[in-house]
């Protein structure tokens, strides 16, 4: 049964990520079709096609590996002739190479002169290079060899760009040039490319709303759940044997709550004259009145009661805002002196106050962006884990395989109830969507952020040309960025392979996450 539940957890995760990707691509598809772009394919996943159907000019389908997706729009790499056109203020088209006459001749002629001058400079530099090699046999043979290598590399690069342009525009029929991606205005292109990540952001926020506002968050209440018998300083408690960690010795100091006879179920309404509407307020008052006698008002079985107790000053573990214990450099817990009453609160699930939701969203989004900024450092850590004996950080990077394994553990474990399982699953899916938004906004091709950056550059370039009176220019030749694109793809594949390996060999377990406070 546990194995079956584990498999169900992985399947649910794959369904969740597939839906997220499908909605991301739908975010691209909808405005593209609205603007008249010809969209030939809408696919969820990569690899062999499992199922597809055609509606109109678009083929919709699902592929074998549900860890990505794409829509195909002709003109992602504009034809070379489109990038070398310019329209002057009178509306006439001029070629950048200066071959056009007529009203665009002045603009085209200037550009053509610049082009021929450049060729002349290059040719002169070539002759100078030949002369500088000297008269020896080695020098005479070396320069032509270097030039030949450069030509071969240049031809290879040009062929690659030509192939990319041809593949990108192969489904453009005559007369459909206006329906290509590059034919869109810059603002419309930005809308098409930003819409996909924006859908993930909205989806992530909606999932967070369901989790935090709908299901709620576990909140400590002012009702007493436990009464602690004795107050043992933290430094002393950690030195005791494990079997004595939860027991009191005869000479241990009894807590004020124990001495006053407080019981589980008592609801504290005020302390030291301060009304306690929530646990944070109650806890703060107790900490601030160390060494003082205060009056505690509470209700028991519907009856109001009051008792005066001495708040003792004791050494307690120091924690951060999330409740995680802070540690010293030697591994021992940090401690601080504070007031101690000796009670533990009842934990109830309550909707997060609406006024705090925006802050929770900001913390999540900013945390994801911070993780992406520090991605190189985290990858170095993962590399050390992969090749050495370094332990895996439970709060470090996790790949898709690792997240799938955790999803399987969440569904199959019997240590948490169904509501907590649902909330943890929603939390993972919401975080994943916000990560997809943030990662896709990286301004590098082939990511959406790279296309957005190209669009912004092209818009700025057009404005400058208009300001200089040089007219409209053609779209930026994105094929020139193919070497950088290939480098980025290679790095992403290496990162994926590294995470898959570590997730399989040294996986992060659900228990490790719980123990880390994550």
33-62: pLDDT as tens digits: 999 999 999 999 988 999 999 999 999 999
Architecture of domain 218-350: Roll (2.30)
- Is residue 420 pLDDT above 80, yes or no? yes
Residue 436, helix vs strand vs coil: helix
CB 368 within 8 A of CB 398: no
- Is residue 101 pLDDT above 80, yes or no? no
Residue 441, helix vs strand vs coil: coil
Whats the size of the chain, residue-wise?
Answer: 518
Tokens, residue 267: 């609801």
Q: Is the dihedral of CA 341, 347, 348, 354 positive or negative?
A: positive
Band the pLDDT of 156: cuts 50, 70, 90: low
Mean pLDDT over each residue of the chain, to the nearest integer: 81
- Is residue 137 pLDDT above 50, yes or no? no
Least confident piece of the model among 104-113, 206-215, 278-287:
104-113
Between CA 395 and CA 404, with CA 401 as vertex, the angle to 5 degrees is: 85
CB 445 within 8 A of CB 201: no
Query: Which of 216, 285, 227, 215 has its CA nearest to residue 260?
Result: 227
- Structural domain boundaries in the chain: 179-216+354-518, 218-350
270-281: pLDDT as tens digits: 998 899 888 989
Query: Cis peptide leading into 446, omega within 30 of 0?
Result: yes
Q: Rounded to whole angstroms, how far apart are CA atoms 282 and 180? A: 64
Q: Rounded to whole angstroms, how far apart are CA atoms 381 and 229? A: 44
Q: Rounded to whole angstroms, how far apart are CA atoms 376 and 397? A: 11
Query: Which of 420, 416, 287 has its CA nearest to residue 343?
Result: 287
pLDDT of residue 206: 96
Cβ contacts of 116-125, under 8 Å, gap ≥ 24: none
364-396: pLDDT as tens digits: 999 999 989 988 888 888 888 888 777 888 777
17-34: pLDDT as tens digits: 999 999 999 999 999 999
Distance of CA 402 to the CA centre of its chain: 16
Band the pLDDT of 465: cuts 50, 70, 90: confident
* Greatest CA separation for the chain: 110
Query: Which of 424, 481, 287 has its CA nearest to residue 13?
Result: 424
């Amino acid at each position: 049964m546990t194995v079956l539940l584990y498999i169900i957890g992985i399947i649910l995760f794959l369904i969740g990520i597939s839906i997220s990707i499908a909605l991301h691509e739908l975010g691209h598809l909808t405005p593209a079709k609205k603007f008249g772009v010809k969209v030939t394919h809408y696919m969820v996943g990569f690899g062999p096609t499992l199922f597809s159907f055609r509606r109109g000019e678009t083929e919709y389908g699902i592929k074998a590996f549900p860890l990505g997706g794409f829509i195909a729009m002709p003109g992602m790499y504009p034809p070379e002739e489109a990038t070398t056109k310019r329209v002057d203020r009178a509306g006439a088209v001029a070629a950048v190479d200066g071959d056009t006459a007529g009203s665009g001749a002045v603009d085209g002629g200037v550009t053509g002169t610049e082009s021929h001058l450049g060729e002349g400079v290059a040719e002169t530099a070539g002759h100078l290079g030949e002369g500088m090699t000297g008269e020896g046999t080695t020098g005479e043979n070396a320069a032509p060899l270097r030039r030949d290598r450069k030509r071969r590399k240049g031809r290879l690069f040009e062929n690659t760009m030509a192939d990319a342009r041809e593949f990108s525009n192969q489904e453009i029929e005559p007369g459909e040039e206006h329906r290509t991606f590059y034919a869109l205005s810059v603002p419309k292109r930005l809308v098409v490319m930003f819409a996909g990540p924006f859908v993930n952001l909205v989806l992530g926020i909606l999932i967070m709303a369901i989790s935090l506002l709908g299901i709620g968050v576990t909140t400590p209440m002012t009702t007493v759940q436990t009464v602690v018998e004795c107050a043992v300083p933290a430094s002393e408690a950690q030195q005791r044997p494990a079997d004595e960690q939860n027991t009191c010795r005869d000479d241990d100091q009894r807590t004020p709550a124990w001495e006053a006879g407080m019981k589980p179920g008592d609801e504290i309404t005020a302390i030291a004259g301060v009304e306690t509407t929530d646990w944070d307020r109650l806890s703060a008052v107790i900490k601030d009145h160390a060494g003082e006698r205060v009056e505690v008002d509470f209700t028991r079985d519907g009856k109001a009661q009051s008792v005066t107790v001495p708040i003792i000053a004791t050494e307690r573990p120091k924690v951060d805002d999330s409740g995680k214990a802070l540690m010293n450099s030697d591994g021992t817990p940090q401690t601080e002196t504070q007031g101690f009453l000796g009670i533990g609160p009842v934990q109830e699930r309550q909707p997060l106050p609406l006024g705090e939701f925006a802050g929770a969203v900001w913390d999540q989004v900013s945390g994801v962006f911070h993780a992406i900024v520090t991605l190189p450092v985290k990858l170095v850590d993962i590399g050390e884990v992969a090749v050495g004996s370094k332990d895996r950080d439970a709060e470090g990077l996790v790949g898709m395989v690792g997240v799938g394994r955790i999803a399987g553990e969440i569904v199959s474990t019997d240590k948490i109830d169904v509501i907590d399982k649902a909330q943890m699953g929603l939390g993972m899916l919401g975080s994943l969507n916000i990560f997809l938004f943030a990662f896709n906004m990286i301004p590098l091709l082939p990511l959406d952020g790279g296309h957005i950056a190209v669009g912004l550059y092209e818009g700025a370039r057009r404005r400058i040309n208009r300001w200089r009176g040089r007219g409209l220019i053609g779209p930026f030749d994105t094929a020139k960025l193919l070497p950088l694109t290939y480098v980025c793809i290679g790095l992403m594949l290496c990162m994926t392979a590294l995470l898959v390996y570590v997730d399989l060999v040294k996986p992060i377990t659900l228990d490790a996450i719980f123990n880390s406070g994550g």
